[in-house]
């Protein structure tokens, strides 16, 4: 029988894997859920102890952690998903290197909580890894569900939820010290955690600290410096009342990596070429540094009201800052070596600006590695020699200032975060064996967005001018970023450019009822919530020189004052049943309809300069469902799931710098629909007591399903560049991740407390993210269908090459004496050093006459990486 | 007992896989025109629209073509299977040779570039969208020039005259108009040793012209540089070499001209060339002819006096030959040179011609000499035969006298009134021409010229009239 089951398992895997190779062209999406065996009875959730399951917590394997220009681009959810589910294990351990995302959901569709408190940002929807990065010892215990399912701590989201349980009293007493060495984003990590256990006086304490460091990360020019501190105390007043307080924070500073074009990679001869850094006085310096430090305080009271009812209430708050630096320049060429006009191709014979001399010169320059990086010394020299006199300084007529006006600076975009709120959950088991949960929560978030001069690079000042504003309007004030403080000389640390708040409030009431029958478990949940937000401008931009409410100025068109308050009432219902065929076979079906408010980050046309919101802004509508078949045998366990998630009315916004308009151009879309659907398979076959075979396959298809409307604006122009422009996105892939990921491995577990496993992983159907402006009638206005290949070049979505990796995982435990244990683990990813493109994007800027002038940009996966850890545990 | 519900599992698989794999979708993309309302035209069809007046396209019409040349400013030359034409952009913008393009002709104007000049498509908008009328379909397409000779070019030229409300308009025609060609076997005049662009000018916006000849100098075409070129600055005309030139063909004032893309298009690396075979009966030598047009490549010069070789009527004889006469001279001496086009020598190359003398006057001096030169530059001059010239040439050619090899040249003593072979033998009129034993031209390599020099002195020499015909230089 075992043999038959294994054959069945392998057949299923190979059949689906074959299908993944056969389906070479595009399309499809993902979504849904996971019903792990633990969820079959409603008595407990999938609380995972990773050390027990032999699964290493995986932090920082994803190369994507380094990329992107968003301050809070790092996603935590994929890193936290430790689970007993075979598929989810593969997702965590082997798929991340390829940028795989569970069912194609982006981070906003996954709820991350701590002690029941939702940590997702109200503005971005993302729960940043930086919130508690590195605190592995205390976040290894969690309730989690992937996809839809019941939950007694949250209504959740379509991507599921993680609820990190960090109550000091639940941690085993003892000390654990861990040291790790690797070659990934960070190279060294040291962690120490002490937990007192529940003391006789009712107190329990837990303290954890971590340091992670890399002077030089895997990617040239990158480095990492991360700290983490967790302090928790529980006071058990009685058997029915425990008060818990938790303070945690994880300041992280790291140097980033840029996406690059094929040309840059080829010229540099390095698939991890990074243009963001260069030498200054012989010392490497990266221009793009992200910093995050948002410590949080959380107070929780757990009250057992009676034998069948309990109440959990939380109060929480966070206060901190995230920031991202970058170069800014005034009236001088872009200093980035990979700027398109600094690339030989810009002057290639076939380009619109062909110049054989320049082409030859740049090609020659790129042969020298020094020219492939930023030249900080040149920037300093340029600033030092630019003596300039400013008149009417700070708006004072006749006031002058003479000094070295910086032509280049390092600016720092900041987000100062203030969040606070409450959470309450009431659980009770009713007489009819119905388990009822009711929860309510509210969060207020005020985040200030602004930027400061981080480094004048040897200059004396920077002028707070909208350097291109005057070219678009005769308005003499257009040059001023803040007409209330004109001609402002900006010194290091001064605020300039933009300064505004996004203030958000969200309140929710939700409930869930669960009931178990002999053959069926069922649940139903509902939520109703209200989200409101507005922008509050602290500067009055010269292009939009009014303050809302002052002199009758309306909200729209004003840059100062408060915008219209955008208010969204949302709701959701979900339900599911598990049919227990017998003790080993289960069928689970889940379904949900959820509406969600648009994210404030996507809601404003150009939040840096004005109050105007995007027209047509509406709540998202999510229809989702999944059906799973689960196996729970001694020799075989796993599941296969089909999921189907339709997300409608999404808001989408991206910005890019456009030389033609001399400013940032913002493309905002509303009514963006997408369908994520696919199959998931995760099976583990136990060959004997030592050997098991693990297979996982995700075959998804993540597609846009309609043609939304776009509004295009420029930061320095009053007039919109386009309104209600239809973007023909239907059936394009969402992109940015592989839709197919598979893993097949064998694992040996010894009686002598060691294990080792080798896993072959394969990734396919990874598409680049696409530029909406290239899929409009306007983009094709001058073309006819036979204008090939140019029409296809504009319309086709590039599919990145398929790729594989081979991973090794192993570990051994040494029991020194009672209560003393040493664990050694080693994880090697990508044993064959197969470096492949794992992410790509179409540039938002493009030239419809020469589409290749702004080619796609990519990132490559890491090659062979490892992380070796040794930990000492004393109980 | 382990139970697994195979049926259930199978049904689940079937349902899930069917559901999933049943929906494979392809992006439809934005709506796009299948064709322009005016359809498409070829270059030949476009050309046919011109009837003497400017023609403005007012409808969307596609013209597919490949850019063969640009002048780095506004002018493009495009070709398709049916021909070629020049295109004038409103402003230059990113269109280069090798680009395969589709032009929407709407808004463009079909017109002559000037009086009796090439046809062109003018006012083409190639700026950024949305007004751009050019779609670049591909880049780097090969644009090989069409090999052609100057003779073929000249033979292709014609002209159509349209009678319009504004008067008659001449439209020169050639299948090569606007075409990128490579004219083979060409050379500049040996005397054209100047700079392409006079060094005296400080502007590159000049239109210097230079004549290009084929090897026999039998045909020529004008070289024209486009305004603004800097490539030819400080470059001298490669007059000492022969070779080929690549460029676009056009008409200017009724004359064909070639405009090279750059100096690199001038591939003059071979020694100067000549014709392989020359035959000239002079049967078309009539009174009042244009010597240069009637006998291209021939030079008719004098180094002393005013007379040159002339048509029979001038010298009083029947047509069909060319003669030299000293009668009624007003100068003390006349030295006249009739020089062949350049000849490409070979070991077996031979020279044949016939002579006749009239006005026989004792002592019947031998007034006709046959000379050969390998460095003739267009001004006949040699051994300072008489110690003086009309003007002293600055760069005289060196001539070698080979008259002794042609003992059949008449001197009047025989009082013959008909042509006889100049070579060995004394056959009468109609007799077979005899060659000098071996080759009279042996010993001379490369390109050479043959000169028939008539020398007369009013007092010392008689004034017999010498005539020649049926000159043949061939293997």
Q: Does A732 touch chain B (CB under 8 A)?
A: yes
A806-841 confidence digits (pLDDT tens)? 999 999 999 888 889 999 999 999 999 999 999 999
A33 pLDDT band, cuts 50/70/90, is very low
Report the distance separating Cα A747 and Cα B121, nearest Å.
Answer: 74
Q: Which among A434, A324, A313, A395 has a CA at the least distance from the CA of A72?
A: A324
Same domain, B243 and B359: no
Is position A571 within any domain?
yes
| A chain contacts of residue B264, beta-carbon cutoff 8 Å | none
Overall average pLDDT of the B449-454 stretch:
91
CA distance A602 to chain B (A): 24
Q: Estimate to the nearest angstrom the gap between the alpha carbon of A432 and the chain centroid.
A: 43
Q: What is the ipTM of this complex?
A: 0.75
Domain count, chain B: 3
How many residues comprise chain B?
475
Is position B265 within any domain?
yes
Same domain, B267 and B282: no
Q: Which of residues 745-804 of A touch B (CB under 8 A)?
A: 775-791, 795, 797
- State the first-to-last Cα distance of chain A, in angstroms, to the nearest integer: 43
Residues B30, A726: C-beta atoms closer than 8 Å:
yes
Is position A351 within any domain?
no
Predicted local confidence at residue A467, as pLDDT: 67
- In percent, the amount of chain A with pLDDT more than 90 equals 61
Q: What is the 3-state secondary structure (H, E, C) of A357-409?
A: HHHHHHHHHCCCHHHHCEEHHHHHHHHHCCEEEEECHHHCCCCEEEEEECCEE
Same domain, B328 and B190: no
Residues A789, B133: C-beta atoms closer than 8 Å:
no
Is position A685 within any domain?
yes
A179 pLDDT band, cuts 50/70/90, is very high
Residues B136, A679: C-beta atoms closer than 8 Å:
no
Report the distance separating Cα A94 and Cα A106, nearest Å.
Answer: 18
A560-592 confidence digits (pLDDT tens)? 999 999 999 999 999 999 999 888 899 999 999
Predicted local confidence at residue A352, as pLDDT: 73
DSSP A329-353: ESSS----TTSGGGSGGGGSTTSTT
Is position A357 within any domain?
no
Same domain, B108 and B58: yes
Question: Does residue A310 contact residue A427 with C-beta atoms inside 8 Å?
Answer: yes
Q: Which among B235, B236, B223 has a CA at the least distance from the CA of B193?
A: B236
CATH (domain of B253): 2.40.50
| B chain contacts of residue A627, beta-carbon cutoff 8 Å | 12, 16
Same domain, B327 and B415: yes
A478-507 confidence digits (pLDDT tens)? 888 898 888 889 999 999 999 999 999 999
DSSP A437-506: EEEEEEEEEEEEEEEEEEE-TT-SBEE-B-TTGGGS-S-GGGGBS-TTSTTPEE-TT-EEEEEEEEEEEE
DSSP A24-49: -S---B-------GGGTSTT----EE
Predicted local confidence at residue A167, as pLDDT: 93
Of all residues in chain B, the one with the smallest CA distance to A352 is B94
Same domain, B267 and B176: yes
**Pairing relation of β-strands B146-148 and B180-188?**
parallel
Between A67 and A606, the higher pLDDT residue: A606
A656 pLDDT band, cuts 50/70/90, is confident
Q: Which of residues 44-103 of A touch B (CB under 8 A)?
A: none
Predicted local confidence at residue A67, as pLDDT: 42
Burial annotation A719-742 (CB, 10 A radius, 16+ → b, else e): ebbeeebbbbbbbbbbbbbbbbbb
Overall average pLDDT of the A169-188 stretch:
92
CATH (domain of A557): 2.40.170.20
Among B7, B26, B30, B98, which would you mutate to test the A interface (most chain A Cβ atoms within 10 Å of its Cβ)? B30
Neighbours of A391 (CB within 10 A): 11
Question: Does residue A135 contact residue A206 with C-beta atoms inside 8 Å?
Answer: no
CA distance B31 to chain A (A): 6
Where do we find the tokens 């043959």?
B450
Is position A356 within any domain?
no
Domain count, chain A: 1
Predicted local confidence at residue B200, as pLDDT: 64
Is position B119 within any domain?
yes
Domain boundary among B138, B171, B192: B138
Domain that residue A748 falls in:
2-337+373-874
CA distance B265 to chain A (A): 17
Question: Does residue A113 contact residue A154 with C-beta atoms inside 8 Å?
Answer: yes
Is position B16 within any domain?
no
CA distance A363 to chain B (A): 19
CA distance A739 to chain B (A): 13
Question: Would you say residue A102 has pLDDT above 70?
Answer: yes
Domain boundary among B108, B138, B168: B138
Report the distance separating Cα A83 and Cα A278, nearest Å.
Answer: 42
Same domain, B163 and B267: yes
Report the distance separating Cα A291 and Cα A476, nearest Å.
Answer: 37
B245-285 confidence digits (pLDDT tens)? 999 999 999 999 999 988 999 999 988 888 888 889 888 88
Is position B195 within any domain?
yes
By CB atoms closer than 10 A (0-12, 13-18, 19+), residue B28 is middle
Is position B227 within any domain?
yes
- For A634, the token pair is 């001694």
Of all residues in chain B, the one with the smallest CA distance to A583 is B3
Overall average pLDDT of the A103-113 stretch:
88
B129-142 confidence digits (pLDDT tens)? 567 888 888 888 89
Domain boundary among B250, B271, B292: B271
Same domain, B161 and B133: no
By CB atoms closer than 10 A (0-12, 13-18, 19+), residue B262 is middle
Question: Would you say residue A453 has pLDDT above 90?
Answer: yes
A180-197 confidence digits (pLDDT tens)? 999 988 999 999 999 999
Mean pLDDT for all residues in chain A: 86
Q: Does A28 touch chain B (CB under 8 A)?
A: yes
Q: Which among A763, A762, A838, A761 has a CA at the least distance from the CA of A807?
A: A761
Is position A347 within any domain?
no
A765-791 confidence digits (pLDDT tens)? 999 999 999 999 988 888 898 888 888
- Radius of gyration of chain A measured on its C-alpha atoms: 28
Counting DSSP H helices and E strands in chain A, the numbers are: 8, 43
CATH (domain of B336): 2.60.120.200
Specify the range with the lowest mean pLDDT, choosing from A5-14, A725-734, B204-213: A5-14
Same domain, B311 and B458: yes
Residues A728, B28: C-beta atoms closer than 8 Å:
yes
CATH (domain of B105): 2.40.50.140
A157-167 confidence digits (pLDDT tens)? 999 888 888 99
Predicted local confidence at residue B315, as pLDDT: 53
Specify the range with the lowest mean pLDDT, choosing from A99-108, A851-860, B310-319: B310-319
Residues B27, A786: C-beta atoms closer than 8 Å:
no
Same domain, B339 and B433: yes
Report the distance separating Cα B292 and Cα A36, nearest Å.
Answer: 102
Among A20, A350, A702, which would you mutate to test the B interface (most chain B Cβ atoms within 10 Å of its Cβ)? A350
The vertex-B94 CA angle with B93 and B98, nearest 5°, equals 135
Residues B26, A731: C-beta atoms closer than 8 Å:
yes
Q: Does A357 touch chain B (CB under 8 A)?
A: no
Is position B30 within any domain?
no
Between A6 and A608, the higher pLDDT residue: A608
Predicted local confidence at residue A739, as pLDDT: 95
Of all residues in chain A, the one with the smallest CA distance to B63 is A787
Domain that residue B85 falls in:
40-138
Neighbours of A782 (CB within 10 A): 21
Across the interface, of B16, B28, B99, the residue whose CB is closest to A642 is B16
Question: Does residue A618 contact residue A648 with C-beta atoms inside 8 Å?
Answer: no
CA distance A73 to chain B (A): 29
Report the distance separating Cα B63 and Cα B39, nearest Å.
Answer: 9
| B chain contacts of residue A678, beta-carbon cutoff 8 Å | 20
- Taking the alpha carbons of A210, A213, A217, A218 in that order, is the dihedral positive or negative? negative
Is position A526 within any domain?
yes
Among B18, B27, B124, which would you mutate to test the A interface (most chain A Cβ atoms within 10 Å of its Cβ)? B27
Question: Would you say residue A864 has pLDDT above 60?
Answer: yes
Same domain, B320 and B417: yes
């Amino acid at each position: 029988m075992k043999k038959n089951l294994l054959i069945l398992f392998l057949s299923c895997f190979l059949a689906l894997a074959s299908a993944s190779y056969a389906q070479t062209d595009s399309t499809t999406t993902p979504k849904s859920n996971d019903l792990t065996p633990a969820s079959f009875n409603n008595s407990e959730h999938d609380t995972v102890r990773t050390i027990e399951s032999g699964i290493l917590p995986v932090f920082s394997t994803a190369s994507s952690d380094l990329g992107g220009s968003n301050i809070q681009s790092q996603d935590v959810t994929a890193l936290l998903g430790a689970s007993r589910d075979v598929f989810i294990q593969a997702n965590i351990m082997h798929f991340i290197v390829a940028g795989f995302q569970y069912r194609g959901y982006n981070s906003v569709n996954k709820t991350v909580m701590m002690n029941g408190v939702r940590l997702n940002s109200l503005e971005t929807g993302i729960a940043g890894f930086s919130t508690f990065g590195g605190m592995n010892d205390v976040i290894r215990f969690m309730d989690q569900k992937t996809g839809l399912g019941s939950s007694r701590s949250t209504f959740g989201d379509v991507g599921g939820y993680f609820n990190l349980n960090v109550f000091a009293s639940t941690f085993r007493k003892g000390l654990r010290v861990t040291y790790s060495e690797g070659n990934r984003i960070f190279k060294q990590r040291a962690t120490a955690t002490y937990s007192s256990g529940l003391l006789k006086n009712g107190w329990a304490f837990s303290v954890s600290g971590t340091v992670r460091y890399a002077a030089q990360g895997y990617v040239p020019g990158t480095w990492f410096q991360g700290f983490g501190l967790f302090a928790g105390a529980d006071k058990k007043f009685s058997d029915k009342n425990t008060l818990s307080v938790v303070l945690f924070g994880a300041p992280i500073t790291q140097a980033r990596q840029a996406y690059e074009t094929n040309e840059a990679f080829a010229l540099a001869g390095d698939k991890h070429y990074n243009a963001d850094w260069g030498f200054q006085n012989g010392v490497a310096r990266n221009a793009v540094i992200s910093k995050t430090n948002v410590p949080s305080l959380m107070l929780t009271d757990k009250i057992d009201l009676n034998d069948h009812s309990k109440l959990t209430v939380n109060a929480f708050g966070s206060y901190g800052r995230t920031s991202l630096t970058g170069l800014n320049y005034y009236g001088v060429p872009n200093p980035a070596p990979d700027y398109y006009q600094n690339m030989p191709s810009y002057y290639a014979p076939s380009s619109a600006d062909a110049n054989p001399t320049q082409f030859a010169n740049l090609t020659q320059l790129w042969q020298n590695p020094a020219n492939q990086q930023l030249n900080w010394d040149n920037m300093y020299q340029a600033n030092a020699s630019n003596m300039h006199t400013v008149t009417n300084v700070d708006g004072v007529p006749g006031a002058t200032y003479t000094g070295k006006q910086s032509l280049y600076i390092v600016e720092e975009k900041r987000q100062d975060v203030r969040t606070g709120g409450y959470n309450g959950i009431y659980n009770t088991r009713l007489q009819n064996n119905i388990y009822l949960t009711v929860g309510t929560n509210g969060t207020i978030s005020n985040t200030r967005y602004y930027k400061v001069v981080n480094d004048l690079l040897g200059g004396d000042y920077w002028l707070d001018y909208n350097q291109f504003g005057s070219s678009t309007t005769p308005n003499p004030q257009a040059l001023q970023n803040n007409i209330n403080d004109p001609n402002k000389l900006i010194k290091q640390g001064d605020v300039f450019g933009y300064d505004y708040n996004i203030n958000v409030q969200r309140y929710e009431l939700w409930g869930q009822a669960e009931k178990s029958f002999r053959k069926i478990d069922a649940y139903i949940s509902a939520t109703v919530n209200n989200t409101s937000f507005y922008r509050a401008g602290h500067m009055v931009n010269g292009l939009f020189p009014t303050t809302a409410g002052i002199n009758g100025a309306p909200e729209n068109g004003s840059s100062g004052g408060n915008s219209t308050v955008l208010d969204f009432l949302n709701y959701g219902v979900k339900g599911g049943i598990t049919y227990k065929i017998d003790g080993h076979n289960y069928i689970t079906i889940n379904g949900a309809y959820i509406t969600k408010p648009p994210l404030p980050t996507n809601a404003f046309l150009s939040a840096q300069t004005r109050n105007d919101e995007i027209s047509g802004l509406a709540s998202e509508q999510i229809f989702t469902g999944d059906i799973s078949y689960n196996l729970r045998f001694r020799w075989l366990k796993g599941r296969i799931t089909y999921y189907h998630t339709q997300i409608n009315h999404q808001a989408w916004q991206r910005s890019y710098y456009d030389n033609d308009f001399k400013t940032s151009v913002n493309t905002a879309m509303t009514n963006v629909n997408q369908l994520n659907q696919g199959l998931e398979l995760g099976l583990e076959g136990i060959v004997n007591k030592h050997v098991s075979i693990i297979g996982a396959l995700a075959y998804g298809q993540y597609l846009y399903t309609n043609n939304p409307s776009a509004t295009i604006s420029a930061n320095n122009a009053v007039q919109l560049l386009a309104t209600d422009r239809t973007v023909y996105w239907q059936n394009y892939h969402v992109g940015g991740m592989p839709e197919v990921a598979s893993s097949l491995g064998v694992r040996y577990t010894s009686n002598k407390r060691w294990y080792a496993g080798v896993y072959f992983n394969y990734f396919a159907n990874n598409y680049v993210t696409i530029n909406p402006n290239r899929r409009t009638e306007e983009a094709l206005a001058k073309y006819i269908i036979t204008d090939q290949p140019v029409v296809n070049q504009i319309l086709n979505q590039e599919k990145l090459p398929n790729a594989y990796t081979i991973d090794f995982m192993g570990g051994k435990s040494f029991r020194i004496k009672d209560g003393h244990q040493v664990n050694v683990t080693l994880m090697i990813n990508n044993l064959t050093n197969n470096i492949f493109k794992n992410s790509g994007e179409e540039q938002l800027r493009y030239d419809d006459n020469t589409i290749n002038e702004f080619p796609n940009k990519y990132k490559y996966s890491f090659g062979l990486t490892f992380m070796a850890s040794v930990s000492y545990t004393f109980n | 007992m382990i139970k697994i519900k195979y049926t259930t599992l199978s049904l689940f698989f079937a349902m899930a896989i069917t559901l999933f794999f049943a929906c494979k979708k392809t992006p439809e993309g934005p709506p796009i025109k299948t064709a322009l309302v005016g359809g498409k035209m070829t270059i030949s069809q476009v050309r046919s629209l011109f009837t003497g007046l400017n023609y403005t396209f007012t409808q969307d019409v596609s013209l597919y073509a490949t850019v063969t040349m640009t002048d780095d400013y506004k002018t493009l030359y495009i070709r398709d299977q049916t021909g070629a034409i020049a295109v004038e952009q409103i402003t230059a913008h990113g269109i280069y040779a090798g680009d395969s393009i589709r032009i929407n002709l709407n808004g463009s104007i079909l017109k002559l570039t000037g009086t009796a000049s090439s046809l062109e498509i003018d006012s083409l908008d190639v700026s950024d969208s949305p007004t751009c009328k050019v779609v670049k379909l591909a880049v780097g397409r090969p644009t090989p020039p069409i090999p052609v000779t100057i003779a073929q070019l000249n033979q292709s030229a014609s002209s159509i005259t349209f009678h319009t409300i504004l008067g008659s308009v001449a439209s020169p025609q050639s299948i090569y108009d606007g075409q990128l060609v490579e004219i083979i076997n060409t050379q500049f005049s040996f005397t054209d040793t100047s700079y392409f662009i006079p060094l005296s000018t400080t502007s590159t916006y000049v239109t210097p012209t230079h004549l290009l000849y084929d090897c026999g100098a039998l045909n020529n075409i004008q070289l024209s540089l486009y305004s603004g070129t800097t490539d030819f600055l400080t470059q001298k005309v490669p007059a000492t070499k022969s070779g080929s030139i690549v460029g676009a063909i056009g008409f200017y004032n009724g004359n064909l001209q070639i405009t090279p893309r750059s100096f690199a298009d001038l591939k003059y690396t071979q020694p100067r060339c000549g014709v392989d075979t020359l035959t000239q009966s002079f049967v078309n030598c009539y009174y009042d002819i244009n010597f240069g047009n009637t006998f291209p490549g021939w030079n008719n010069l004098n180094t002393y006096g005013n007379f040159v070789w002339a048509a029979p009527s001038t010298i009083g004889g029947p047509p069909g030959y060319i003669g030299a006469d000293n009668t009624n001279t007003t100068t003390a001496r006349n030295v006249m040179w009739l020089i062949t086009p350049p000849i490409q020598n070979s070991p077996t190359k031979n020279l044949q011609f016939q002579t006749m003398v009239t006005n026989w006057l004792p002592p019947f001096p031998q007034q006709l000499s046959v000379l050969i030169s390998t460095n003739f530059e267009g001004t006949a001059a040699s051994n300072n035969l008489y110690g003086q010239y009309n003007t002293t040439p600055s760069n005289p050619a060196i001539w070698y006298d080979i008259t002794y090899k042609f003992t059949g040249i008449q001197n009047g003593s025989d009082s013959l009134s008909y042509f006889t072979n100049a070579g060995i033998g004394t056959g009468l009129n109609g007799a077979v021409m005899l060659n000098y034993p071996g080759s009279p031209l042996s010993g001379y390599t490369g390109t050479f010229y043959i000169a028939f020099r008539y020398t007369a002195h009013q007092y010392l020499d008689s004034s017999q009239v010498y005539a020649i015909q049926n000159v043949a230089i061939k293997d």
